[in-house]
Chains A and B, each alone.
Chain A
Amino acid sequence: MSGAVDTGVAIRTNRVTRTFIYLFLLLFALFYLLPLAVMLINSVKPLSEITGGNMMALPDVWTFEPWREAWSSAQIGVQPTGLRPYFINSILIVVPAVAISTIMGALNGYVLTKWRFRGDTILFGMLLFSCFIPFQIVLIPMARVLGMIGLAGSVPGLILVHVVYGLGFTTLYFRNYYSAFPTELVRAAQIDGAGFFRIFYRILLPLSGPIIVVTIIWQFTNIWNDFLFGSSFAGQASQPMTVALNNLVQSSTGVKAYNVHFAGAILAALPTLIVYIVSGRFFVRGLMAGSVKG
């Protein structure tokens, strides 16, 4: 019964509350930004300033050498190639894997909601449960299977692995999204003689924008950041970015060039960061329409 509530717009808050809210949000923004700030600040410092000084202090001497080094001349293996060549490998793996798993997820979601059949819920339950399988246990059998079908150590092999273990989530997203979609429309189109794929292309797909964004963000992030599969199943020519970054950061001896490590880390994360920032608005909208609806 607080008197501060006005009628009209749904929620009203008074000034004190609003100040508190702003402070709270800013505080958390600081909390979230802190590690990134540490990484950014220290990636433009010469190494001597890092080892001798305050990690939060701004650099006395600004240098972009660590960035250049991480990108094109840091020692990754025997050769000082930097992260550049691995960037391309990652793209070659991520783009098809995201595309295929998203398309398959969309079709699965479509079937599971609009073309229901006996046992579909159980199938979906099983698919969903597969999201929880710890990836470590699949390494050895997966390696065997990849070897048998001749895809060991190749980019198509890695794509296959990522598609298979991404299907659970992509199907979940699309199923939840499409379940809110009026089935009557589909039935009406069916009566008009439209086929399975035609209905999908013409009716569902044009309205699937937000959930496609969510799925792509989710898959892109997961696959781009994957280390376990990338290191185990990639060949010498197809190692992704994370494996290279790991080699850069985890080298066992020598002075740890933290500035180069941080620069490399930010470089490696750049594609996902850009995806998040550019599509942040669609992301919430997509979640709104999709995954949060049981």
Chain B
Amino acid sequence: MARPVQSDLRTRLQEWIPKIVLAPSVASMLIFVYGFIVFTGYLSFTNSRILPSFDLVGWHNYWRLFQLPTWTIAVQNLAIFASLYIAICIAIGLTLAIFLDQKIRGEGMLRPIFLYPMALSFIVTGTAWKWLLDPGIGIEHTLHLWGWESFHFGWIKSSSMAIYTVVIAAVWQSSGFVMAMFLAGLRGIDNEILKAAQMDGASNWNLYRRIIIPQLRPAFLSAFVILAHLAVKSYDLVIALTGGGPGRATELPATFMYSYTFTRNEMGVGAASAVIMLMTIAAIMIPYLYAELKEPK
């Protein structure tokens, strides 16, 4: 009599366990991510300055945000920075992965060398990069000392070029990681297909273009997600390398948001910029996530 009830209870429990296991993550996500996003959205309509305040002021903060030349610069910089950074990282990462996949002697040595920059915090690597890029002490100076007098590399001091030095340092940090992702993808490709294609007389170039690279699609997508997320969050990098300068030439939305929220005591404007940033990310990510997650069904 008691048995079937008990087993019934057990199976029902079994059904519930997965949801119970997932519950803490979902709850914390709802509170700490989406709850806070809603909170920030609310703040963007208030006159918050040094601490959150709850007096609504309508669209005033957004209106001010778009009047600020620094914000325009920051958004333009993000467009330049993110597109170059993602494109170059993927290009370098893919090339290195393909080359490393050619049964290279010393792969075990090279791989960690390519990967290690990801392990370092920019608080101080920033200083090393600042030195290297500074014409007075860095690469330019060193090459002058070694006799190449006409060499000139002063991008970091120029308002129009400084953002590209940020790209260089950012690519240095994460292209090795992208390499690892592509390498993993390459190692996962079935050799038999390649052999068959070669039998048909395909050249190396065609082999990569027609068969291998299309098969790396998931790796491209993962690389894109990770790089896009790093690009949007790039903060330490800019602070360590240029401090947003010369002038405000290398300001990015992340540095803009931080400085308005925390150092300029204009939390409302900072929140408004955060909302715009999140909406931009959502506009890019939601179609991607949709396409990505629809598939397995």
Contacts and interface: CB of A to CB of B under 8 A. Distances in A.
The answer to whether A and B touch directly, with their CB atoms under 8 angstroms apart, is: yes
B121 A132 contact: no
Contact of B104 (A22, A127, A293): A22
Interface of A: 1-2, 4-5, 7, 10-13, 18, 21-22, 24-25, 28-29, 31-36, 38-39, 54-56, 104, 107-108, 111-112, 115, 117, 121, 123-138, 140-142, 145, 163-165, 167-168, 171, 179, 195-197, 221, 224-225, 227-228, 242, 245-246, 249, 258, 261-262, 264-265, 268-269, 272-273, 275-277, 280-281, 283-289, 291-294
A202 to B, nearest CB: 16
Given A35-B132, A132-B232, 7 more contacts: A5-B198, A125-B289, A265-B127, A272-B119, A276-B116, A292-B181, A292-B216
Contacts of B113: 29, 32-33
Interface size of B as a range: 35 or more
B278 A285 contact: no
25 contacts: A1-B203, A11-B101, A25-B96, A32-B113, A33-B113, A35-B129, A35-B172, A39-B124, A108-B25, A134-B254, A134-B274, A137-B257, A137-B274, A138-B32, A141-B39, A145-B31, A164-B32, A245-B121, A265-B127, A276-B118, A287-B183, A289-B184, A292-B188, A293-B218, A294-B218
Secondary structure type dominating chain B contacts: helix
Contacts of B19: 111, 117
B210 to A, nearest CB: 14
B164 interface: no
B247 interface: no
Given A136-B261, A262-B124, A273-B116, A131 B229 contact: yes
Given A13-B102, A32-B114, A111 B22 contact: yes
Question: Could you say which of A133, A221, A228, A275 has the most chain B C-beta atoms within 10 Å of its C-beta?
Answer: A133
Q: Identify the 7 closest CB pairs spanning chains A and B, nearest first.
A: A265-B124, A288-B184, A115-B18, A287-B184, A272-B119, A294-B218, A225-B121
Interface string B271-294: 100100110011001100110110
Contact of B198 (A7, A29, A167): A7
B59 interface: no
A277 B132 contact: no
A288 B180 CA distance: 9
B137 interface: yes
Contacts of A262: 124, 127-128
B128 A133 contact: no
A126 B29 contact: yes
A29 B100 CA distance: 12
A277 B116 contact: yes
B179 to A, nearest CB: 9
Contacts of B229: 131-132
Question: Could you say which of A28, A111, A135 has the most chain B C-beta atoms within 10 Å of its C-beta?
Answer: A28
A140 B52 contact: yes
B5 interface: no
A13 B29 contact: no
A124 B25 CA distance: 11
Contact of B187 (A141, A227, A288): A288
